[in-house]
Amino acid sequence: VLSKPQVTVHDNISCRVVCSVENGRDVTLSWYRGEEILNQTSSPDLNITLSLPLKVDEQNRDSYRCEAANPVSKETADVPHSCIESDPSKVTDGDESTRGFLIIAVISVLVASGLVGLAICLKKRRNRHSHADSPERKQDDILYAEITHIKPVDNQEERRGIPELDPLRDNPNLTLVYYTLQLHHMAASKDVNTA
């Protein structure tokens, strides 16, 4: 007596199924798509259960059947409706959902990296400006130079009318001059009145 084959779904989303039947004398187990045999198995060991896995094509889910046959009779079983009726777009939805999370994660990492980079640039700029205004920086900007007084010779007339040199004439014992370099920010061109 030939048993009816059983089709069990192992993965509903990709529709992986297994057809099985109790083995008997000259029993073969086959998967068909329409009238085409896709796979077939048999065994001389009568104490085992024959089984045959199959991944059902999403486009032709309702055209598959499992058939157990011997020389006297045959029994068939169809792919369960839970597999046939599962919407192929659900697979896409799952993939799109995962893809959406991935895109959000990548964008979040890029935005966070940009913010960290911006913060570092602003901190460097702030440090540069604060260093320029610091007493140490001002000390570095003061330059010293030794001076030597030269008395004008007879053929040179003494230079007069240069206000910066007047203190030197009044105090010939000065031997050192210094000046300070100062950093001034220029106004943007739109702020300057050209009239």
DSSP H or E stretch at residue 94? helix 88-133
pLDDT of the residue at 16: 87
Count CB atoms within 10 A of the CB of residue 48.
10
- Give me the DSSP letters along 106-175: HHHHHHHHHHHHHHHHHHHHHHHHHHHHSHHHHHHTEEEEE-------TTSPPP-S-GGGHHHHH-TT--
Residue ranges of domains in the chain = 6-84
pLDDT digits (tens, 9 = 90+) for 72-113: 999 999 887 777 555 555 445 556 677 788 899 999 999 999
Virtual CA dihedral for 155, 160, 164, 168, nearest 10 degrees? 60
Rounded to the nearest angstrom, the gap between the alpha carbon of residue 28 and the centroid of all alpha carbons in its chain is 53
- Taking the chain, what is the end-to-end CA distance rounded to the nearest angstrom? 112
pLDDT of the residue at 164: 60
**What type of residue sits at position 79?**
V
pLDDT of the residue at 177: 61
pLDDT digits (tens, 9 = 90+) for 26-49: 999 999 988 899 999 999 998 999
Whether residue 179 is predicted with pLDDT greater than 70 in this model: the reply is no
Fold of domain 6-84: Immunoglobulin-like (2.60.40)
